[in-house]
Structure 1
Amino acid sequence: MTEPDTERSRDDDSVRVWLVERTYSDDELNLIILVYATEDGRYYHRRERALTSFTGPARATKAGLCVSPDAVGTVDDPETQARYATEATRMADEHTPDDEV
């Protein structure tokens, strides 16, 4: 994957993504799914956490992350892409990447 230069983070080997979605799983695993996306909505990064792992400062949810280009997928659905772009841009405008959200 070759991401646009505007999506690159502070170093050329990572991609800046912003929190766009937080979903609580209602199955027996009690997972929280965090979805981060680039500001253009074209790429996403997904993380899953056990609900019990959200205690303490080491597990804070950050507004933005730098991830490897290998750790992002493409968003193929135009509606989802537009929604991710809107939310990622809003997060980037209102937060620094290290803000806890």
Structure 2
Amino acid sequence: MHEPDPPVRELLAINFDGWVDAVKGCLDAAQDRLPPGTDTRALGQFILTVMEGGVMQSRTHRSLEAFDASVAGLRDYLNRLQADATSTSKP
């Protein structure tokens, strides 16, 4: 794979960091629905990784199936996190 030029790589990093920050902001707003101690920045990076991985696979296979499967897996994971938060907050 071609290594992008340093200025291109820097712009890509800024773009991805902005996306992670935006997702982190959403997760911070929903912190009460996540397990205590959830690292929302790390979770934001994970979410972006899943989404971008789904895009790459879909482009490779020329099908949305991989993206849809990635989103379904991510949704399941987030639902489990939310259920865990609910079960740990009960007295």
Asked if these proteins are the same fold (TM beyond 0.5), I'd say no
Q: Give the greater-gyration-radius structure (CA).
A: 2
Higher strand share: 1
Structure 1 length as normaliser, TM-score? 0.29
